[in-house]
Amino acid sequence: MAHIRQMEARDIPEVARMEKETFTMPWSEKSFAEALEREGSLYLVAEENGILGYCGCYVILDEADVNQVAVRADLRGQGLGKELVSEMIRILKERGIDSITLEVRKSNAAAIRLYESVGFVSEGVRKNFYEKPTEDALIMWKRQSVSKG
């Protein structure tokens, strides 16, 4: 079973390689380095003899904006993405974050099913949000009650 932990600077080259294999508009190593430095950001990796997947979000006030979720191509559909996202949600709840949002390509049925399985609900559409190819994004939210200290 994969070990999930906070992403560290040493993970960036491997994460950026996976990013390039997964997305048509991939983040650079520099983008990941800046994201890790950003106050309130939360980035996780799943590892077992190397990085198997990763996810991350920015936190603004009491909301989180998920901007990365990826699993190695040969491991998709086995629940690792759900484990990563569930752990991110757990940590965010622990930090008092009660609303989490993300955008996902309308055609990405597997990702939509994953997000719905952990409580996200589609609440709108961003027209032509994605490039290469141009496509609308579903805006999804998960709102969770947290105990305020």
Residue 130 a catalytic site member:
no
d(CA 51, CA 65): 22
Catalytic residue from among 43, 54, 115, 130: 115
- Tokens representing residue 137 in the block: 């994004």
Catalytic residue from among 19, 43, 83, 103: 103
Residue 103 a catalytic site member:
yes
Q: 117-144: b or e for each residue (b if 16 or more CB lie within 10 Å)?
A: eeebeeeeeeeebbeeeeeebbbbbbee
Q: Which residues are catalytic?
A: 103, 115
